[in-house]
Amino acid sequence: MRLPSNRRRAALLCAALAFAPACAAAQGGAGYSRRELSIPMRDGVHLFAVALVPKAATAPLPIILVRTPYSAAGLFGDAGLPLAYRELARDGYIFVAEDIRGRFGSDGEFVMLRAPNDPRSPKGVNESTDAWDTIDWLVKHLPNNNGRVGAVGTSYPGWLAALAAVGAHPALKAVSPQAPMSDTWLGDDFFHQGAFRQTQGLEFAAFMERDPKGFSFMTIPDYDHFDFYLRFPTLDSLARAAGVSRLPTWMNFVAHPARDAFWQQRALQDIITRPEVPTLVVGGWWDQEDIFGPQAAYRTLERADTGRFTHIVLGPWYHGGWERSAGDSLGPLAFGSRTAEWFRDQVERPWFAWYLHGKGDGRFPEAWAFETGANQWRTFDSWPPRNTVERKLYLREGGRLSFEPPPAGAAGFDAWISDPAHPVPYAPRPDDGNGWRTWLERDQRFVDDRPDVRTWESAPLTEDLTIAGDVTARLFASTTGTDADWVVKLIDVYPDSVAENPEMGGYELMVNADIMRGRYWQGFDKATPVPAGAVTSFTVDLHQQLYRFRKGHRLMVQVQSTWFPLYDRNPQTFVPNIFQARAADYRAQEHRVWHTPAHPSHIAVSTLAPGG
């Protein structure tokens, strides 16, 4: 999770992490007794926890457990219950929040994303064993519990909730990993397909590791964060100036730039190979931090799910937006209903009620997904849906986008100069950090006229088009250098005039977008130079969607090679480790995207039949 800087700290930290008592928005705080707990682990370390026990309970209740690095005392402060648990509370639960090792009130050493087989743990302790020991102690020592436990969490706590189900305690009956940071190299917080998320990696490492028992805010002196990051020609100079170069997480970035065993051992989809406990995975279509995690975790669990243990919810939300808002809008988008409240009341609440209280019939669809554009919830018996047709959107000559492939004799490529000294911003400038939650929904017209952004656009649609499932770009590209980044955006272009919402006239909304670092064109576990001047195939995972492009709208694809300062700049000349690149390694290069019958660059989508 990226943390804000400077003047926004207190307000956004409350909203983003919901841990401060002042912003917990207590729901019936006087109705709970607050108890502070010291829970022993198998190696003698004690973890600090806070329990909220309903005063009016007349029968033993199940436990909802949240394990967190963000302060258990802050999450459940002054007997207040955050809004995220308002709907759950109606069925009656004992709520427990626990600080993980080395954070806030807990003993031991904090290790960011502690691997299951951490060699620094001589007694074999990890987040799964700590969850087991916690649950074992709670059901034996916390009065008036019914012996059933559910684990829930969002972001880092979502990763922890999922790990509680590995070697699960018998009392753990249901888990809900929400926006889990499943794979921080492939598509979550720290890297996306090899491209380093420098603002996330830098600021979060400082936030968590400068003060292992608390928080440490990094000061960005410039009002426009773009200016601050641009001043540093290399990642090493940035890290030294920011004082993070000797922090454990930054040193791990430097030591493991590729997706080697270090990252694989921490990737949730490589750990949870089968569902041991009923699991409800939750994610947002416009999650600016962990969009990959829920989809990857669900995909892995589902492959081995023979008992319909695993289900998924995908809604129109930013990171964690379902737990702290009504969910009736996102940036400029209005959904016509309170999607977050609906999820909490109609999905999350009955899910835990069935497994922890035995209430309801236990019949749940495989997937709940919100179809943006149509603005409706849909249920499916599989995810992605089975009743789809794969189609390819081809990048064509003259800036056209079409479902028809390039004809013989068509113009061969579109080219641009990518200059690391003049990168494309990821959000309109000035960027003071205030738009972090909604930058994925920003109107992309702010880069339309840049010579280093290439655009292809379709004719207006003659009927609605709904995509459902995976969205994947395959670029046939070449460069005068030996490395390059490829940013691909699938965009919904609104008509010039939208009578019911004039502000949306001509709006260019990113529906799917992501980045891939070219040096991993032969595999993510090892960097390989891109052959200069040779047409090379690059695959960019744009993740999943359920989205209806309306009649009269246009489809657009944009391709560029910088997305700054969210992502670091590629030197565009191959170096073994970009974290150790020198300023002289960064050079402008010409990139080409090809669109010929032999090299048909395209985006593959799966579409639903009208009414399907």
Q: Which residues pair with 508 in a beta bridge?
A: 493
Which residue, 154, 100, 466, 459, is CA-closest to 283? 154
Q: In order of start, what are the domains of the chain with their CATH numbers?
A: 25-183+266-312 (3.40.50.1820), 388-608 (2.60.120.260)
Residue with tokens 């005068």: 480
Q: Give the residue-averaged pLDDT of 127-136.
A: 97
The more confident residue out of 549 and 24 is 549
pLDDT at 119: 64
How far is residue 330's CA from residue 321's CA, in Å, rounded to a whole number?
9
pTM of the model: 0.95
Least confident of 24-28, 103-107, 220-224, 341-345: 24-28
Q: What share of the chain is helix, strand, coil (3-state, %, to 5)?
A: 25, 30, 45
Q: Give the residue-averaged pLDDT of 59-69.
A: 97
The more confident residue out of 441 and 14 is 441
| Two structure tokens written together for 611 | 């009414």
Residue with tokens 């004799």: 409
Q: Give the residue-averaged pLDDT of 472-476.
A: 98
E strands in 235-323: 279-284, 310-315
What pLDDT digit, counting tens, does each position of 181-197 carry?
Answer: 999 999 999 999 999 99
Which residue, 416, 539, 562, is CA-closest to 484? 562
Provide the pairing of β-strand 413-418 with 589-594.
antiparallel
pLDDT at 14: 41
| Two structure tokens written together for 211 | 């003060």
The more confident residue out of 333 and 433 is 333
Q: Is residue 9's pLDDT more than 70?
A: no
pLDDT at 554: 98
pLDDT at 6: 42
Q: Give the residue-averaged pLDDT of 495-510.
A: 94
Q: Is residue 323's pLDDT more than 80?
A: yes
Q: Is residue 27's pLDDT more than 80?
A: no
**Burial (CB count <10 Å: 0-12, 13-18, 19+), residue 188:** buried
What pLDDT digit, counting tens, does each position of 153-166 carry?
Answer: 999 999 999 999 99
Res. 122 pLDDT band, cuts 50 70 90: low
CB 188 within 8 A of CB 293: yes
Provide the pairing of β-strand 46-54 with 94-99.
antiparallel
pLDDT at 78: 75
Type of residue at 102: G
pLDDT at 29: 60
Share of the chain above pLDDT 70, in %: 94
What pLDDT digit, counting tens, does each position of 546-600 carry?
Answer: 999 999 999 999 999 999 999 999 999 999 999 999 999 999 999 999 999 999 9
Q: Is residue 24's pLDDT more than 80?
A: no
Provide the pairing of β-strand 172-178 with 145-154.
parallel
Q: Is residue 118's pLDDT more than 80?
A: no
Q: Is residue 12's pLDDT more than 80?
A: no
What pLDDT digit, counting tens, does each position of 382-399 carry?
Answer: 999 998 999 999 999 999
How far is residue 599's CA from residue 335's CA, in Å, rounded to a whole number?
39
Q: Is residue 324's pLDDT more than 90?
A: no
